[in-house]
A and B are shown apart, each in its own frame.
Chain A
Amino acid sequence: MHGMQGMRTALRHRGAWWTLLAMGLLPLTWLVWQTFTDQLGPNPAEALIRSTGDWTLRGLCLTLAITPLRVQLGWPELARFRRLLGLLTFGYASLHLMCYAWFDMGLDWADIVRDIPKRPFVLVGSVALVLLTLMAATSWNGAIRRMGARRWQTLHRSVYVVALLAILHFWWMRAGKNDFNEVWVYGLILAVLLGWRIWRRSKQH
């Protein structure tokens, strides 16, 4: 178990947080690079909207994996990465909405307001982003004190709702072309991560 110990020492290192932040910004850097070097293919708007959405889903899976990994492995040092991963997920979700509003809708708010009820999956995604925004806005240490731990925790448990909404959003979008392969992959990962929590709760009672 020497490797495991080395891994844990590395996770406890001050630089680990910054390393994770740098890694989390790599997809964004790559997308910006591709945009300015015209490497996004024939439909750059679609490519940007899709990849920011994909990275939001990946971020969500990683964020929700922290607690199960921490408990199952008995690695408390993982806890301090959860907030960073959550904020990165929120960042990619915001970029996802921005890409849609800007590149797809030309920042025409009247058009966007008309578009949302027409396409319920856009509405579902928007609700998920509102919840993510509330969590991001209350992610600093002082917020827990000000809100009270109980209320804060209730609010931050809405990340489970976000996971369900995100999958619904993705499924609904892909339903248009009957193409569910990737929806299944993300759905399965999120189901395991949420299922673990239900299993753990039932064991505690």
Chain B
Amino acid sequence: MLIRSSDAGFVHPVAREITPRNVFESRRAMLQHMALGAAGLGLAGWAARDARAQMKGPGVLPPLPARPSAVAGAQVLDRPTDYKDASTYNNFYEFGTDKSDPARRAHSLKTQPWTVEIEGLVKKPGRYGLEDLMKWSAMEERIYRLRCVEGWSMVIPWIGYSLAELVRRVEPQPGAKFVEFVTLADRATMPGLRSSVLDWPYVEGLRMDEAMHPLTLLAFGMYGEVLPHQNGAPVRLVVPWKYGFKSAKSLVKIRFVDKQPVSSWEKAAPREYGFYSNVNPNVDHPRWSQATERRIGEDGLLAKRRKTLMFNGYEPQVGQLYAGMDLKKYF
């Protein structure tokens, strides 16, 4: 019969031979890091390849070549939303209030010829053709988060250039304090205009310093191609730190004014939508909390909603624009 006692069958090492706990634990951690690192390198390459694949549209629309933007904050690392989701889940009320309406109906939109009228307090007003506008600065690809006021978000690789380039070129007069954006309202091609949901045409506005911020984008394309109609073709605004409705689509007028413009949503529901409409998890919309969001295509049915970031994560770049402002009052 084999009887084991605590000191039999096992030779205890002398105390000094025992590796101290912190040392062996750090060895394990190092091995883990090495293993993870090796796997990580492989995964990173795979993920990057995946991300690059997602950055391209299906190739139906004309390509729009661009170089990656060097503007700070213009290349978020989040996984870009699938093109299919980004082009079939849209709020573009001129084509209907259901999010599938724009993709189904926006084919009626005529984007050629297209002109944008620059008017108001500028030294070089005029009606500029789309082809000219597209040559005013080099096309850049920018990967921005897009946060809708309804509590969902996407990540979109846009193509365009900083609105500031256009503003400088048309030379605003000293009295110009705001920029107003007017979008197309054509009853013949936009069935949604029959509804009285909003006062057409759709109007948006920015303070001059917001308009001049390098992140404020005048977009002509996405996913390597020109904009699909339902995403605001042929030219739209993208202001990544504000709720999506601030990024007006299918622009026909850019107006330089001395007074704060009244945006369409402000006019429709002044207690729910403010002029600034900066993404802010601490200021709730009366119908829905703004603390969290659902990332389309990524957060599955059972995934918990992710936390919304202040200024949609662009606080380092744009926070100083609002220094000292009461963002609960100026929501």
Contacts and interface: CB of A to CB of B under 8 A. Distances in A.
B304 A45 contact: no
B284 to A, nearest CB: 6
A42 B294 CA distance: 11
B285 A45 contact: no
Contact of B294 (A43, A102, A118, A181): A43
A106 B305 contact: yes
A178 B302 contact: no
Nearest to B100: A41
Contacts of B200: none
Contact of B97 (A102, A118, A179): A179
B197 A42 contact: no
A46 interface: yes
B286 A42 contact: no
Nearest to B296: A42
A176 B287 contact: yes
A174 to B, nearest CB: 9
Interface string B303-318: 1110000000000000
B301 A176 contact: no
Interface string B268-306: 110010000000000011111100001011000111110
A41 B288 contact: no
Task: Report whether over half of chain B's contact residues are helix, strand or loop; otherwise say mixed.
Answer: loop
Interface in A112-137: 115, 118-119, 121
Task: For chain A, give the interface size range.
Answer: 20 to 34
B289 A119 contact: yes
B152 A46 contact: yes
A102 B303 CA distance: 9
Contacts of A119: 286-289
Interface string B250-276: 000000000000000000110010000
B167 interface: no
B289 A118 contact: yes
A103 B302 contact: yes
A176 B88 contact: no
B97 A177 contact: yes
Contact of B197 (A102, A103, A115, A177): A177
Nearest to A181: B195
A42 B301 contact: no
Contacts of A179: 97, 197
Nearest to B97: A179
A173 interface: yes
B294 A178 contact: no
B198 interface: yes
B294 A45 contact: yes
Given A42-B85, A43-B294, A179-B97, A118 B284 contact: yes
Contacts of B331: none
Contact of A173 (B99, B195, B272, B287): B287
A105 B288 CA distance: 12
A42 B297 CA distance: 6
B301 A103 contact: yes
Interface string B86-103: 001100000001011000
A175 B97 contact: no
Given A45-B301, A105-B305, 13 more contacts: A42-B99, A43-B89, A43-B296, A48-B301, A104-B305, A119-B289, A172-B287, A173-B287, A176-B285, A176-B286, A177-B197, A178-B197, A179-B197
Interface of A: 35, 41-46, 48, 102-106, 108, 115, 118-119, 121, 172-173, 175-179, 181
20 contacts: A42-B85, A42-B99, A42-B296, A42-B297, A43-B99, A43-B294, A44-B301, A45-B294, A105-B305, A106-B302, A106-B303, A106-B305, A115-B289, A118-B289, A121-B287, A173-B287, A175-B287, A176-B285, A179-B97, A181-B97
